């Protein structure tokens, strides 16, 4: 089991460029999440998905779009990158336990993005 994988690991963009971050999980989890981590601010939820074909906004969704076309993949897109989007991005996934409550979130290794 690879768990949660993210590509790429590092990326440098110029302001206005676009890119897509890919997250893949092999644990058959229903839920997937995208977070950004900034110094002194912890992790903040950008968007999340509760199943294939569904997405929802998190705490800081502006400037990002997501898609969940396949259960195992969750894509995060930046249409026009800005320096304020310089951050480390983490993907996570979780399952539903027997009580219908969500379970532990498993995190990927992160993508370090710099926008110049």
Partner 1 sequence: QQQVKQSPQSLIVQKGGISIINCAYENTAFDYFPWYQQFPGKGPALLIAIRPDVSEKKEGRFTISFNKSAKQFSLHIMDSQPGDSATYFCAATPMEYGNKLVFGAGTILRVKS
69 binds partner 1 (CB under 8 A): no
| Contact indicator for 46, 34 with CB cutoff of 8 Å | yes
Please report how close the Cβ of residue 77 comes to partner 1 at its closest, in angstroms: 20
CB 105 → partner 1: shortest distance, Å? 6
Q: Is residue 76 part of the contact set for partner 1 (CB under 8 A)?
A: no
Using rule CB under 8 A, residue 64 touches partner 1: no
45 binds partner 1 (CB under 8 A): yes
- Contact residues for partner 1 (CB under 8 A)? 4, 31, 33, 40-45, 48, 50, 56, 58-59, 90, 92, 94, 101-110
């Amino acid at each position: 089991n690879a768990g949660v994988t993210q590509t790429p690991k590092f990326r440098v963009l110029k302001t206005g460029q676009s890119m897509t971050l890919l997250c893949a999980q092999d644990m058959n989890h229903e839920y997937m999440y995208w977070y950004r981590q900034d110094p002194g601010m912890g992790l903040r939820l950008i968007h999340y998905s509760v199943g294939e074909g569904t997405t929802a906004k998190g705490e800081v969704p502006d400037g990002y779009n997501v898609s969940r076309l396949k259960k195992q993949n969750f894509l995060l897109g930046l249409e026009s990158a800005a320096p304020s989007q310089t951050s480390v991005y983490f993907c996570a996934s979780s399952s539903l336990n027997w009580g219908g409550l969500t379970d532990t979130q498993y995190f990927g290794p992160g993508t370090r993005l710099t926008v110049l």
